[in-house]
Amino acid sequence: MTTSEVFKKSFGWMESAHCEDADPELFFEAETNHQAIAEAKHICSGCGVKDQCRDWAIRYQEKGVWGETTLSQRKLLRKQYAKCPKAVLDYMARRLYREHEEALQKL
């Protein structure tokens, strides 16, 4: 099994992403190309896993368009999360942990 396959099995939500078959360069060129930002966000707009995608990118400080957000938008969200009450952050952490555990059980 390739590293990519292990990664996909660990994070099953990624397999449901609308961008699964899109050119990845579109999403990473997007930081400097306004047309690419619009195209990437359009692909994300109807995606059923864009919240998980955005949360992933916020947590791991990914570059490019993830979950219909750019890096600069996620930096603002990260600042807002830093002001969140501890209970909200705990809930988000438990949700991410639970999703990770469920993904590992599928391996």
pLDDT of 44-56, one tens digit each? 999 999 988 998 8
Question: Could you give the angle at the alpha carbon of 88 between the alpha carbons of 84 and 90, nearest 5°?
Answer: 120
d(CA 69, CA 1): 31
CA distance 77 to 83: 10
Residues 6+ apart with CB under 8 A from 16: 48, 49
Least confident of 17-26, 68-77, 98-107: 98-107
The residue among 17 and 86 whose pLDDT is bigger is: 17
* pTM check: above 0.95: no
Structure tokens belonging to residue 80:
């807002």
Q: Tell whether the model's pLDDT for residue 40 goes beyond 80.
A: yes
Q: What is the pLDDT of residues 53-98, one digit of tens each?
A: 998 888 888 999 999 999 999 988 888 777 766 666 677 777 777 7
Question: What pLDDT, on a 0 to 100 scale, did the predictor assign at position 6?
Answer: 58
76, 69 Cβ separation under 8 angstroms? no
- 103, two tokens: 């993904």
Percent helix, percent strand, percent coil in the chain, to nearest 5: 75, 0, 25
The 8-class DSSP code of residue 23 comes to: -
